[in-house]
């Protein structure tokens, strides 16, 4: 028997559809919609089932969608974004050049370009055309040749340095650092890179107590090159474990 000073302790489980959706303990004897008085043991079992319930896998999709499709008479061998002109440039196998603007317009240039690729420089209105082989040529914004380097080695990839106006190239057995203003090779690294033809490159900007580096890839082997010191720091086969 309960005395007037005693109250009944109950545990309340708020089921889905209630306002709070929380488990709580209270002294209320009122029943509201979506609430049931259950023994504490049943509450623990219900909570355990909720924790152990497997969530359905979520499906994520990318936010990319095609804006416009352009057909080409010749396969594309290289494509880049030319930031200064806010347009894309594609080089084709028949040596034609196409320009694409942000509003979806396509224009075929009358310029015949034989370069393997193009790289934008930090000199306003200038690009560099490189490859095949030892071709390294400074171009104006209309892709007209201005000056050709005389001491270039084989070039397969080319990137602009973030911290300077220099360009870095890599190819068969070499990594080079170029001064675009002088069109001259400042650093030429060949020792330790023989019999390797690099097809991918990633630049790492210089940091405190760490030189300017590049990572060049030949097959499964990555070579780390110190561009300031002109030497190979490390070579590692990614498939060797």
- Give me the phi and psi of 209, to 5 degrees please: 65, 20
List phi, psi (to 5°) of 45.
-65, -40
User: Which domains are assigned to the chain?
Assistant: 74-114 (no CATH), 151-237 (2.40.10)
- 3-class SS at 50? helix
Q: Residue 73's CB: how many other CB atoms inside 10 A?
A: 10
| Cα–Cα dist 65/100, whole Å | 17
Please enumerate in sequence order all residues whose Cβ is within 8 A of that of 29, keeping only pairs 6 or more positions apart, or say none: 8, 10
Report pLDDT for 72: 86
pLDDT, residue 40, reads 65
* pLDDT score at 20: 43
Closest C-alpha among 147, 98, 92 to residue 114: 92
At 108 the three-state DSSP class reads: strand
Between CA 5 and CA 165 the distance in angstroms is 86
The neighbouring-strand residues paired with 82 are: 87
Q: 10-residue block means of pLDDT along the chain (241 residues)?
A: 46 45 44 54 63 62 75 92 94 95 84 95 96 97 95 96 94 97 95 94 87 95 95 92 64
Per-residue pLDDT, 47: 62
- Which distant-in-sequence residues (6+ apart) come within 8 Å of 8 by Cβ? 2, 27, 29
* 3-state SS class at 188: strand
170 exposure class (CB count in 10 Å sphere: 0-12, 13-18, 19+)? buried
- Tokens describing residue 172: 């068969």
CB atoms closer than 10 angstroms to residue 28: 13
């Amino acid at each position: 028997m309960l005395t007037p000073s005693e109250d009944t302790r109950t545990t309340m489980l708020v089921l889905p559809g209630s306002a709070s959706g929380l488990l709580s303990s209270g002294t209320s004897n009122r029943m509201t919609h979506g609430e049931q008085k259950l023994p504490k043991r049943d509450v623990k079992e219900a909570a355990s089932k909720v924790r152990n319930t497997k969530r359905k896998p979520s499906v994520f999709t990318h936010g990319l969608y095609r804006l416009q499709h352009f057909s080409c008479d010749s396969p594309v061998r290289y494509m880049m974004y030319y930031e200064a002109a806010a347009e894309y440039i594609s080089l084709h196998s028949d040596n034609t050049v196409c320009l694409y603007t942000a509003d979806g317009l396509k224009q075929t240039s009358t310029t015949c370009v034989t370069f393997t690729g193009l790289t934008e420089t930090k000199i306003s209105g200038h690009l560099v055309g490189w490859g095949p082989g030892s071709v390294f040529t400074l171009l104006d914004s209309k892709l007209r040749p201005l000056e050709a380097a005389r001491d270039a080695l084989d070039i397969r990839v080319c990137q602009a340095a973030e911290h300077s106006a220099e360009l870095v190239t890599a190819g068969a057995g070499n990594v080079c650092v170029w001064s675009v203003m002088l069109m001259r090779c400042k650093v030429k690294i060949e020792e330790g890179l023989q019999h390797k033809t690099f097809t991918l490159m990633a630049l790492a900007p210089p940091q405190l107590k760490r030189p300017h580096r590049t990572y060049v890839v030949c097959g499964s082997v990555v070579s780390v090159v110190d561009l300031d010191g002109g030497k190979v720091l490390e070579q590692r086969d990614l498939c060797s474990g």
